[in-house]
């Protein structure tokens, strides 16, 4: 069983970002970039399936700038066997990413593709669903447990009134929830090993995808602004004053 794990490179979740002065977006110059945390969970799950003898190969795939190679190396250090970078300088929105990943599915014929449920930069939560539609494959989103047995996939997912378990025919598309697993630390020996694993770089054209004609970005960002600053608090001398202020000044927002 072959598994593809999708990897998006984005601003590290520990970074404090600032909005550019012209309001056109977030300034990512000199900011640490990392893998989307949900994608770390996706690769971890794929590697665990391989270690359990269920899967035979894990391929990490990323679309974007040449620097995504670094992020793919992290996926290789987590344990992916090889990686594919679809290199492009074009802005990629979910329809374009889904189209590129669909082309990789056509080429690699995996039994399973695991994506994050959402990329934490734009939080759109669309790519997995679009990929399932384009590839005509069953999907289970927000997976908190994944089991493979008898050629089928059993996926548990949290829904409003409890846990839903879906049984899917393979090949299938899964998107990860935070509860699926907790990726461990990447060790130095694994980082060293990852430098020797195969990383193939393709252009969208090599996969038969023309980004300009087929999938132009459909959404335009009009303005990005910082959230309003929180007003400073006040210190009260004692509990009595606090209770008094709560009675007379506190407002329900």
Residue 7 near ligand AMP by CB under 6 A: yes
Residues 125-184 that bind ligand AMP (CB under 6 A): 125-128
Q: Does 34 bind ligand AMP (CB under 6 A)?
A: no
- Which residue stretch of 44-52, 76-84, 121-129, 142-150 sits at the interface with ligand AMP (rule: CB under 6 A)? 121-129
> Nearer Cβ to ligand AMP, position 19 or 120?
120
Among 36, 45, 81, 111, binds ligand AMP (CB under 6 A): 36
Tell whether residue 204 is a contact of ligand AMP (CB under 6 A): no
CB 129 to ligand AMP: min, Å: 8
For ligand AMP, which is the closer residue by CB, 132 or 194?
Answer: 132
- Nearest CB to ligand AMP, comparing residues 25 and 192: 25
Q: What pairing do the DSSP bridges indicate for beta strands 26-27 and 18-19?
A: antiparallel
Kind of pairing, strands 172-176 and 82-87?
unpaired
Give the shortest CB-7-to-ligand AMP separation in angstroms.
5
Cα angle, residue 177 at apex, residues 2 and 91 outer, rounded to 5°: 75
Using an 8 Å Cβ cutoff, are 83 and 197 in contact? yes
Site string for ligand AMP, 8-27 (x = CB under 6 A): x-------------------
* Cβ-contact 189, 173 below 8 angstroms: no
Please name the residues in contact with 194: beta carbons below 8 A apart, sequence gap of 6 or more: 73, 74, 76, 77
- Nearer to ligand AMP by Cβ, of 218 and 251: the residue is 218
Say how far apart CA 84 and CA 236 lie, in whole Å: 59
Burial profile 94-124: b = 16 or more Cβ within 10 angstroms, e = fewer: bbbbbbbbbbbbeeeebbbbbbbbbbbeeee
Interacting positions 51-110 with ligand AMP (CB under 6 A): 62-64, 92, 94, 97
Kindly state the number of chain residues that form the binding site for ligand AMP, as judged by CB under 6 A: 22
Cα separation, 6 vs 141, whole angstroms: 14
CA–CA separation, 58 and 71 (whole Å): 15
Q: Which stretch binds ligand AMP (CB under 6 A): 24-32, 36-44, 76-84, 188-196?
A: 36-44
Backbone angles phi, psi at 154, to 5 degrees: -110, 120
**Contacts with ligand AMP, residue ranges (CB under 6 A):** 6-8, 36, 38-39, 62-64, 92, 94, 97, 115-116, 118-119, 122, 124-128
């Amino acid at each position: 069983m072959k598994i593809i794990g999708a990897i998006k490179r984005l601003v590290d979740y520990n970074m404090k970002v600032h909005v550019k002065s012209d309001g056109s977006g977030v300034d990512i110059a000199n900011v640490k970039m990392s893998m989307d945390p949900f994608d770390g969970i996706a690769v971890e799950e794929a590697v665990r399936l391989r270690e359990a003898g269920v899967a035979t190969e894990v391929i990490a795939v990323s679309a974007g700038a040449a620097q995504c190679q670094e992020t793919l190396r992290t996926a290789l250090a987590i344990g992916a066997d090889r990686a594919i970078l679809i290199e492009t300088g074009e802005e990629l929105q979910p329809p374009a990413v889904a189209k590129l990943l669909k082309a990789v599915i056509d080429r690699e014929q995996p039994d399973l593709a695991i994506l994050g449920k959402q990329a934490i930069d734009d939080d759109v939560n669309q790519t997995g669903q679009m990929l399932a539609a384009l590839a005509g494959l069953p999907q289970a989103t927000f997976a908190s447990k994944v089991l493979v047995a008898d050629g089928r996939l059993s996926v548990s997912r949290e829904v409003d009134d409890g846990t839903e378990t879906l049984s899917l025919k393979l090949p299938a598309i899964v998107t990860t929830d935070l509860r699926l697993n907790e990726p461990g630390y990447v060790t130095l020996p694994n980082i060293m090993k990852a430098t020797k694993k195969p990383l193939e770089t393709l252009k969208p054209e090599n996969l038969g995808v023309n980004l300009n004609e087929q999938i132009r970005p459909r959404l335009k960002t009009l303005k990005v602004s910082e959230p309003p600053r929180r007003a400073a608090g006040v210190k009260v001398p004692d509990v009595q004053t606090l209770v008094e202020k709560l009675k007379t000044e506190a407002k329900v927002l």
